[in-house]
Amino acid sequence: MQENDLQALMSRFELLIERVEQLKRQNALLVAQERSWREERAQLIEKNEIAKRKIESMILRLKALEQDS
């Protein structure tokens, strides 16, 4: 009876080890995705700032033209 218990325990350990490996792979994938999203977010923020500066510059030029008229 002990041999069967030991065999069952070994099988459960193997399943747990497989699960841990699967979770490690999933975690690595999620970390890579997060890094990619963070980089994309940073790029979008930068593009937004550039667009904002351009718009502010246009507004200032329009106000200057308005005052000259």
pLDDT at 69: 73
In the chain, the N- to C-terminal Cα span, in Å, equals: 100
Residue type, 51: A
What's 38's DSSP letter? H
Distance CA 14, CA 9 (A): 9
Residue type, 18: E
Distance CA 27, CA 45 (A): 26
Q: What is the pLDDT of residues 7-19, one digit of tens each?
A: 999 999 999 999 9
pLDDT at 65 > cutoff 80:
yes
pTM of full prediction above 0.75? no
Length of the chain: 69
Q: What percent of the chain shows pLDDT beyond 90?
A: 86
pLDDT at 1: 62
